[in-house]
Amino acid sequence: MDRSLFMGGLPKTTSRRGFLRACAIATAAMGLPMEMVSKVAEAAEDPKRPRVVWLHFQECTGCSESLLRASHPDLANLILDLISLDYHETLMAAAGKQAEENLDKAVEEGNYLLVVEGGIPLKDGGIYCKIGGKTAVEILKKAAEKALAIIAIGTCAAYGGVQAAKPNPTGAVGVQDIIKDKPVINVPGCPPNPHNFLSTVLYYLTFKKLPPTDKFGRPLFAYGRKVHDHCERRPHFDEGRFAEQFGDVGHRLGFCLYKVGCKGPETYSNCPVIRFNDVEVWPVSVGNGCYGCTEPNFWDTMTPFHKRLPNVKIPGGKGIQASATEIGKAALGVTAAALAIHAGVGIAKKLATGSKSEE
Amino acid sequence: MAAYEKKYVWSVLLRLFHWTFAPSIFILIVTGLYIHWPWTNTWLEGSHQFTMAVMRWIHFIAGMIFTCAVIARLYLWFFGNKYEKIWDFLPITARNVKNLFSTILYYAYLTDHHEERLGHNALAGTAYFFTILLAICQFITGLYLLYPENGFFVSLGSALFGTQQEARFIHYILNWYFAWFALVHIYIVIWNDIKHPEGLISSIFDGFKFAKKEQ
């Protein structure tokens, strides 16, 4: 796909061209053939906009923030144009009682997409997260009843996130641990890439069903491949060229960040391909290893973030090339010794017989 | 019934050359083809499986051994025993030119005449000569590809073979040459061993061949 799609940014108001561009990006992100762009665009411009209720629980609003960041206004515009956002605590004008009424009204009417941001505490009756006097779990269960489908945006909503890290004092869990009778799709990440969220929504609008997922409920088009397999520093890994610590020569030369803790070999996401903020960056491209933030319980399983993955043997010990060079030098030494012995024996024989030895 | 006697033909060093060269070729072909087409990628590659890296590692080490074996053979061309020296088997003498053509006819089943000789016949010797030359091309392109930042190998490789990509292409084509060579070599050796009682195959293990006893 044309990189300039990501590079150029998009105009502030959604032009026809910008609209089709964003649809094309989403189509590509979903792994659909380009012939599908028109279908996706058709679904996106349907005047019957799906209603969306967006709930916030134990979270930092980073997922909403990453979606609305000014660097890609058109993407946010498109998402907000695409859907009828009936309730979103950060964005809506209403507050207090009025806001709660909006939520009650939306939930009453039903047939909406429910987007959940943030983990849900269950311990002590769920009292550690309350909105308008109701616990998070209560609100979620009520809102989920009449929802068409649920999108859990961010690692907190998907798997509990940072508050679910050991010892999980509030008993936080993800949406899928509470809601069992509705289709739940996870778009994890800390934050997740807004393109993946857009693509999930567009997939639902185009096909009227949720995209196929992996065993952790993540859409395969975005989370089907390992970060390590698409990383631009992968050749350095295969060659055994590593940054040994931050700021050293290898780090400055852009070598593999595996030894300074990159979790790319254990993490499934399309970050190296889609990248972030429309300026062609993602953690590894700016010199910091992957934290594995799209994986369940990454706060527990991927920490310490700047240490190597345990039990992962680096091929060839010191790296392929260095190891082969060492062995090559040794082999060359053995060969030289063998030739020297051969020559020595030949000369000795010649001296002993005093004549040209031929055998 | 003709009487035969044991003759010492292949020195220890030549046999060592053969038994490092042959397995290294086999390993290089297998790993080389994998590197060319890593067909298990993404489903085998994982947090504790680095198939590509392991294949490359084995390939490079086998390549080093291959290089050393070739160096040993080059030395034996000039300092080996009578049968190992280059002028014993290259078609540069009248005797060897004659042998070259008679061997071709013999291998093509066009004549039954067969010259008994202890070293390589001229056809085999010529094939081995070119194989060693190609082996030199192979290890120079290999080292050029392995050390793309080493001044010596880069200037040598680029002078002889051009860009990295051209060197890679030659390296890949020669990989197939060695596969082909190994097959033909094994076939002809077995064919010869069946037809003649000289003990061709065992000679590469113990160094001895059997020649008709001169009456």
Q: Whole-number mean pLDDT of chain A?
A: 84
pLDDT exceeds 60 at position A199: yes
Beta bridge partner(s), residue A220: none
Whether A340 contacts chain B with CB within 8 A: no
How close does chain B come to A189, measured CA to CA in Å? 20
Residue B118 has a pLDDT of 87
**Contact criterion met (CB < 8 Å) for B75 and A312:** no
Mean pLDDT of the region A117-125:
93
Mean pLDDT of the region A186-191:
93
Neighbours of B140 (CB within 10 A): 19
Q: How many domains does chain B have?
A: 1
**Contact criterion met (CB < 8 Å) for A328 and B61:** yes
- Any domain includes B41: no
Band (pLDDT 50/70/90 cuts) for residue A6 is very low
Residue A55 has a pLDDT of 92
pLDDT exceeds 60 at position A357: no
Residues A49-59: tens digit of each pLDDT? 788 899 999 99
Cα dihedral A26, A31, A34, A38 sign: negative
User: Best mutation site among B21, B45, B48, B50 for testing chain A: the one with the most A CBs within 10 Å?
Assistant: B50
Among A266, A324, A346, select the one facing B64 at the smallest CB separation.
Answer: A324
End-to-end CA distance of chain B: 12
Q: Which helix (H) or strand (E) holds A113?
A: strand A112-117
Q: In what order do the strands lie in the sheet with A84-88?
A: A84-88, A51-56, A112-117, A147-153, A184-187
Q: Whole-number mean pLDDT of chain B?
A: 90
pLDDT exceeds 70 at position A88: yes
How is A114-179 classified by DSSP, letter by letter?
Answer: EEEESBEE-GGGGTTSEETTEEHHHHHHHHHHTEEEEEEEHHHHHH-GGGGSTT-TT-EE-GGGT-
Of the listed ranges A14-18, A233-237, A263-267, B154-158, the one predicted with least confidence: A14-18
Q: Shortest CA distance to A208 belongs to which of A25, A37, A40?
A: A40
Band (pLDDT 50/70/90 cuts) for residue B205 is very high
User: Best mutation site among A236, A242, A320, A350 for testing chain B: the one with the most B CBs within 10 Å?
Assistant: A320
Distance CA A62, CA A69 (A): 10
pLDDT exceeds 60 at position A113: yes
Among B57, B63, B81, select the one facing A359 at the smallest CB separation.
Answer: B81
- Any domain includes B113: yes
What are residue A97's phi and psi, to 5 degrees? -60, -40
At CA A137, angle to CA A132 and CA A142, rounded to 5? Answer: 80
pLDDT exceeds 90 at position B189: yes
Residues A30-74: tens digit of each pLDDT? 777 777 888 888 887 777 778 889 999 999 988 888 877 645 556
Q: What share of chain B is helix, strand, coil (3-state, %, to 5)?
A: 70, 5, 25
**Secondary structure of B83-97 in the HEC alphabet?**
CCCHHHCCCCCHHHH
Place of tokens 């992996």: A214
Q: Shortest CA distance to A146 belongs to which of A190, A184, A114, A189?
A: A114
Residues B159-182: tens digit of each pLDDT? 999 999 999 999 999 999 999 999
Contacts of B56 in chain A (CB under 8 A): 238, 315, 320
Contacts of B64 in chain A (CB under 8 A): 324, 327-328, 331-332
How close does chain B come to A180, measured CA to CA in Å? 31
Among B8, B13, B46, select the one facing A359 at the smallest CB separation.
Answer: B8
Residue A8 has a pLDDT of 45
Contacts of B13 in chain A (CB under 8 A): 338-339, 342
Residue A257 has a pLDDT of 92
What are residue B158's phi and psi, to 5 degrees? -70, -30
Overall fold of domain A227-301 = Cytochrome-c3 Hydrogenase; Chain A, domain 2 (4.10.480)
Query: Radius of gyration over alpha carbons of chain A, in Å?
Result: 28
Helix axes A320-353 and B51-79, enclosed angle (nearest 10): 20
Neighbours of A46 (CB within 10 A): 12
pLDDT exceeds 60 at position B85: yes
Residue A32 has a pLDDT of 76
| Selected residues 309-338 of chain A with any CB under 8 Å from a CB in chain B | 309, 311-313, 315-316, 320-321, 323-324, 327-328, 331-332, 334-335, 338
Distance CA A255, CA A277 (A): 23
Distance CA A187, CA A152 (A): 6
- Contact between A316 and A323 under an 8 Å Cβ cutoff? The reply is yes
Residues B116-141: tens digit of each pLDDT? 888 899 999 999 999 999 999 999 99
Among B16, B48, B54, select the one facing A311 at the smallest CB separation.
Answer: B48
| Selected residues 133-152 of chain B with any CB under 8 Å from a CB in chain A | 146-147
User: Best mutation site among A325, A342, A345, A356 for testing chain B: the one with the most B CBs within 10 Å?
Assistant: A342
Mean pLDDT of the region A136-145:
93
Band (pLDDT 50/70/90 cuts) for residue A3 is very low
Whether A91 contacts chain B with CB within 8 A: no
Band (pLDDT 50/70/90 cuts) for residue B47 is low
Residues A268-297: tens digit of each pLDDT? 999 998 888 767 789 999 999 999 999 998
**Domain boundaries along the sequence of chain A:** 4-221, 227-301, 327-359
Output the six-digit token pair for B71: 């160096």
In total, chain A counts a number of residues equal to 359
Query: For residue B78, what is the nearest residue in chain A, using CA coordinates?
Result: A343
Residue A154 has a pLDDT of 94
Residue A318 has a pLDDT of 66
Among B13, B42, B53, select the one facing A320 at the smallest CB separation.
Answer: B53
**Contact criterion met (CB < 8 Å) for B68 and A335:** yes
CATH class of the region A4-221: alpha beta
Distance CA A92, CA A90 (A): 6
Residues B86-114: tens digit of each pLDDT? 988 999 999 899 999 999 999 988 888 88
Band (pLDDT 50/70/90 cuts) for residue A311 is low
Domain of B133 in residue numbering reads as 4-35+50-212
Whether B33 contacts chain A with CB within 8 A: no
- Any domain includes B40: no
Distance CA A9, CA A221 (A): 23
Query: For residue A229, what is the nearest residue in chain B, using CA coordinates?
Result: B42
A·B CB contacts under 8 A:
83
Residues A315-331: tens digit of each pLDDT? 656 667 788 888 899 99
CATH number of the CATH domain containing B14: 1.20.950.20
How close does chain A come to B136, measured CA to CA in Å? 15
- Contact between B141 and B170 under an 8 Å Cβ cutoff? The reply is yes
Neighbours of A105 (CB within 10 A): 11
Residue A282 has a pLDDT of 92
Mean pLDDT of the region A238-247:
84
Among A226, A315, A331, select the one facing B54 at the smallest CB separation.
Answer: A315
Band (pLDDT 50/70/90 cuts) for residue B53 is confident
Place of tokens 């980073």: A62
Neighbours of A281 (CB within 10 A): 12
- Any domain includes B45: no
